[in-house]
A and B are shown apart, each in its own frame.
Chain A
Amino acid sequence: MKSEILYPGAFPMVRVELAAGETVKAESGAMVACSPTVDVESKMEGGFLGALSRRMLSGEKFFFQTLRATRGAGEVLLAPTVPGDIVILELDGVNEYLVQKDGFLAGADSVKIESKMQSLSRGLLGGEGFFILRMSGTGTLVLNSFGAIHKVELKPDQEYIVDNSHLVAWTATTSYNIEKASAGWIASFTSGEGLVCRFRGPGVVYIQSRNPGGFGNWIRQFIPVSE
């Protein structure tokens, strides 16, 4: 599997080249176009309960789509739903990434995806909920963000604070705690707003330059309410 970002910036796409028989997992609905040699299967990753838990516990993604080059080599074009950057990472079997539920766009078949429960205190306070996706294994992993994607590299024991809703992904070697950004526990408990993650290196944290929830609130004021 070879992948390449087309039109980097706000409205990118990913072209994935598949050899005969190769497959790529993608967020359901991410496929834009593909060669006639490619078949689309909706596969439930990790069995029925696995898919159920992802659908119910980690947002909208009931299935991952599996795109298989059944009848010979071909290419697939994939795009995320929201405008924003795409980043391609290579998993080498040692590094692992924790990805916020909307950050996953596509991955090689050899990339293992698990939904992972955050510890109770983190999950309770985090706007992203209890479940995040843990990516391990080997091969290409494609993530997408809302807005531009910014990479922060942390040295061992170096700390960095990121607003909860701007998180895309981070490495498993990076430890973190969720903290409130300011006074006012009530607001934090009910909305998850005003929470920040204190990361501690070593590792890498990917953050997005826009906050999907904040953007949603901003745009809502222009939508006439149909009574």
Chain B
Amino acid sequence: MSQCSPNALCFGDGLPGAGVPCHAEVNPAGLVLDLGEASAETIPFSSFSIDAGGFDHDHLVLKWQARSGSRTLYLKDPHLIRAFRQAAPPELTAHVERTAQQVRRARHGRRTILLVALGSLVGLILLLWLGSDTLVQMAVSRIPVEWEQPIGEAARSQFLAGQTVVKEGPAVAAVQEITKRLADAAPGNPYKFEVTVVRSDVVNAFALPGGYVVVFTGLLKKAESPEEVAGVLAHELNHVLLRHGLERIVKTAGLVAVVTIVVGDQQGLVGLAKRLGVELLTLKFGREQETQADLQGLQLLHRAKIAPDGMIHFFERLSESDKLQVEILSTHPMSAARADRLKAEAASLSRQTPEPFSFEWSAVQAGL
């Protein structure tokens, strides 16, 4: 009995379903098969029908009728397969040669695609490593809007876990009305902005990717008019519309995020956002992004027929007083220049009569 290591799997009537590991060898007459029984048998080439099979179509499958029933043999070892193909009569292998060629061609094509993909991936990673903003934007632009929702949702639920949410009342209705006015006025807005009011003295608001807006009651208390709140929201909504949060994620997570996006795996991206969640909320955007959100915010107010004075006034109040210890300054450093730029921009907008909100601001504040 030979102690050769198995190089093939034999299936068939009366044999276990997982197959019997066995040893096969090619000789000029046929295939010598050692099933670990009394003696190895030689099966002549003429009794085989052959095909390609297995997960990658890289197994050679031999079928024949033995005395004990039908047999199927899977060969995997490339040396053994080559030996078989060389020794077997050409009419037997012709069909397999054709299949093999197809497999080889398919595999070659796959390899080329893989190499090109890998090459461009490595290139992209290298460029990102060097911190190119254009590439970050390119990667961000590849994220479909639907993907942003689970990302923002994950970050929001993580944040809200320890907070008291104001579910209804005049304040919630007012913030919803303001948000809807703005969202409806944003041209080509793909987001369904969803507002949550959180009971807290924090004077701030933020918007997460996917359009999840959080407003703290502290901001509503501090604001002198709904137009001031609208100014802050117009700014925040533009961080979403301009996808600044996503840019931030891609910049922070760099390589991993890009790979995820390129490969198109949403699950990975959501997991990533979950891990970055807290950071996502405390992020300080770059000065360029802030200016962009300011100016676009102003435009948005104008489109929504909301007086832009509120935004400018609120920003002025923030920049004038260092004593006004409010959290919005930690994420949004105010400067007189910022309010001035807005003033100049507002002057260039066409004159229009603002449309008032349906609620009384004093009543909203009284309900807080």
Contact = CB atoms under 8 A, between A and B. Distances in A.
Given A56-B256, A92-B6, A227-B167, A156 B63 contact: yes
Nearest to B106: A119
Interface residues of A, number: 30
A66 to B, nearest CB: 23
A204 interface: yes
A173 B53 contact: yes
Q: How large is the interface on B (under 10, 10 to 19, 20 to 34, 35 or more residues)?
A: 35 or more
B314 interface: no
B212 to A, nearest CB: 12
B18 A204 contact: yes
Given A56-B263, A92-B6, A155 B157 contact: no
Interface in B4-59: 5-9, 11-13, 16-19, 21, 53-56, 59
B60 to A, nearest CB: 11
Contacts of B217: none
B76 interface: yes
Contact of B54 (A52, A60, A154, A173): A173
A203 B18 contact: yes
A226 B161 contact: yes
Interface stretch (A30-38, A75-83, A93-101, A181-189): A93-101
Nearest to A200: B53
Nearest to B114: A117
B48 to A, nearest CB: 14
B170 interface: no
Interface in A144-177: 152-156, 171-173, 175
Given A202-B17, A203-B18, A173 B70 contact: no
Nearest to A227: B165
A94 B259 contact: no
B254 interface: no
B268 interface: yes
B55 A172 contact: yes
A57 B265 contact: yes
A94 B76 contact: yes
Contacts of B53: 173, 175
B133 to A, nearest CB: 24
Nearest to B264: A130
A172 B268 CA distance: 28
Contacts, number: 87
A96 B55 CA distance: 10
B256 A173 contact: no
A12 interface: no
Contacts of B9: 94-95, 173
Given A56-B260, A134-B55, A175-B53, A95 B18 contact: yes
B256 A202 contact: no
- Chain B binding surface, main DSSP class: mixed
B12 A153 contact: no
B160 interface: yes
With a 10 A CB-CB cut-off, give which of A60, A92, A129, A155 has the most chain B CB atoms.
A155
B216 interface: no
B16 A153 contact: yes
A55 B9 CA distance: 33
Contact of A172 (B11, B54, B157, B196): B54
Contacts of A154: 17
Given A94-B9, A201-B11, A227-B165, A173 B16 contact: no
Contact of A56 (B5, B18, B72, B268): B268
A156 B70 contact: yes
A93 B265 contact: no
Contacts of A153: 16-18
Contacts of A152: 17
B84 interface: no
Contacts of B21: 92-95
A226 B160 contact: yes
A72 to B, nearest CB: 30
| Top 9 A-B pairs, shortest CB-CB distance | A153-B17, A202-B11, A156-B72, A172-B55, A204-B18, A94-B6, A56-B268, A94-B21, A173-B74
Interface of A: 52, 55-57, 59-60, 92-96, 98, 116, 129, 134, 152-156, 171-173, 175, 201-204, 226-227
Given A156-B63, A175-B54, 19 more contacts: A56-B263, A56-B265, A57-B268, A59-B267, A93-B5, A94-B21, A96-B76, A134-B55, A153-B16, A172-B54, A172-B55, A172-B56, A173-B11, A173-B59, A175-B55, A203-B19, A204-B17, A226-B160, A227-B165
9 contacts: A56-B260, A92-B21, A94-B9, A95-B21, A116-B55, A155-B17, A175-B53, A175-B55, A202-B11
